[in-house]
Amino acid sequence: MSTQVTPALIAKRMGMLKHEIGKVLRGCNGALEVVVRALLAGGHAELVGVPGTGKSLLAKAMAKSLGMKASVFTFLPDMMPGDIVGTEIFNPANRQMEPLPGKIDPESQIIVGDEYNRAPPKTVNAAIEVMQDGILHIGRQRIAMKRPFFVLVRNPI
């Protein structure tokens, strides 16, 4: 027997999620509301705020409350697209190209990228491509991201 999804059921589940996250983080109901709505809508979100206000903690608490895996990384000014999505390297031992994973873990359902405004545009574009397609392109490999897949980027003011 399947449960019919109604606005009342969604509101109840959102309330339960907010209650769970509220055990860890207090005073961020507005941000939490936006982030949960973006997740439910199948989108992604950006949080902008002063450092130390719990943006990472919010994402980690949300992942834990939902039973999802989260990964957090910081964009750096010298990052290349391969640092984010991964690349292929030559292994001389077996004379084969092998995948070298990047910062985005295909098993993570919630990805938190910190300070993406510091990264070069081509690196940001590589991350945006994964967000749009839900597929990680490492060389000739195509790895589908685990669903639901949600990206939360953070930027300080």
Burial of 75 per CB tally in 10 Å (0-12, 13-18, 19+): buried
60's CB contacts (< 8 A; 6+ apart) are: 70, 72, 112
Average pLDDT over the chain, rounded to an integer: 86
What is the pTM assigned to this prediction?
A: 0.80
- Residue pLDDT, tens place only, 90-149: 999 999 998 888 999 888 899 988 888 899 999 999 999 999 999 998 888 899 998 888
Report whether pLDDT(54) > 90: no
pLDDT of 119 reads 92
Cα separation of the two ends of the chain: 48
Residue 5: pLDDT band with limits 50, 70, 90: confident
Residue matched to tokens 């990228």: 113
Per-residue confidence (pLDDT) for residue 157, from 0 to 100: 65
Here the tokens at position 98 are 């092998």
Q: Has domain 7-156 been given CATH number 3.40.50.2300?
A: no
Local confidence band at 3 (pLDDT 50, 70, 90 cut-offs): low
The structural domains of the chain, with segments of one domain joined by +, span 7-156
Burial level of 36, CB count in 10 A (0-12/13-18/19+)?
buried
